[in-house]
């Protein structure tokens, strides 16, 4: 059996492009998105492993708007949101004292339970 060094930090990034205005996006509580223009959302952050089954993930979300769908409408200002998530791994141990379905000494990512602890949103 190998002694595996646990991962402590990882970085992540994501880009979502919406080619049309999104009529349902104004209902997102932590980052309401303007419904009058197409947009691109950029998300970047870090995930720090406090212990293998507990992770902390601060991140930033930036929404850059395109031209409004209605000609002559004012262009919305870009939005930025800051958030942090705490992920708790729900681990069930089998008779070999390893989490079920994993190699002893490792933890699954399936079953992680996200919980947002704080967030803000502001116009640029």
User: What is residue 28's predicted lDDT score, i.e. its pLDDT?
Assistant: 82
Give domain status of residue 66, yes or no: yes
Q: Give 85's pLDDT tier (boundaries 50, 70, 90).
A: confident
User: What is residue 58's predicted lDDT score, i.e. its pLDDT?
Assistant: 94
Q: Are 16 and 61 in contact (CB under 8 A)?
A: no
Query: How many structural domains is the chain composed of?
Result: 1
Share of the chain above pLDDT 70, in %: 67
Tens-digit pLDDT profile for residues 28-52 = 887 888 999 999 999 999 999 888 7
Mean pLDDT value across the chain: 75
Give domain status of residue 1, yes or no: no
Domain that holds residue 16: 9-123
Give domain status of residue 82, yes or no: yes
Give domain status of residue 3, yes or no: no
Give domain status of residue 75, yes or no: yes
**7 against 67, higher pLDDT:** 67
Share of the chain above pLDDT 90, in %: 29
- Residues 6+ away with beta carbon under 8 Å from 103: none
Give domain status of residue 52, yes or no: yes
Tens-digit pLDDT profile for residues 100-110 = 444 444 444 44
Give domain status of residue 2, yes or no: no
**Quick check: helix, strand or coil at residue 122?**
strand
Give domain status of residue 79, yes or no: yes
State both tokens at 23. Answer: 């009529």
């Amino acid at each position: 059996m190998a002694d595996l060094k646990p991962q402590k930090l990882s970085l992540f990034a994501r880009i979502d492009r919406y080619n049309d205005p999104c009529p349902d996006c104004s209902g997102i509580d932590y980052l309401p998105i303007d419904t009058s223009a197409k947009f691109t959302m950029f998300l970047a952050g870090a995930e720090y492993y406090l212990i293998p089954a507990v992770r902390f993930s601060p991140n930033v979300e930036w929404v850059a708007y395109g031209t409004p769908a209605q000609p002559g409408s004012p262009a919305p200002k870009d939005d930025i949101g800051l958030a942090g998530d705490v992920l708790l791994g729900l681990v069930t141990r089998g008779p070999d004292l390893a989490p079920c379905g994993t190699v002893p000494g490792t933890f699954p990512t399936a079953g992680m339970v996200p919980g947002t602890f704080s967030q803000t949103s502001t116009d640029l």
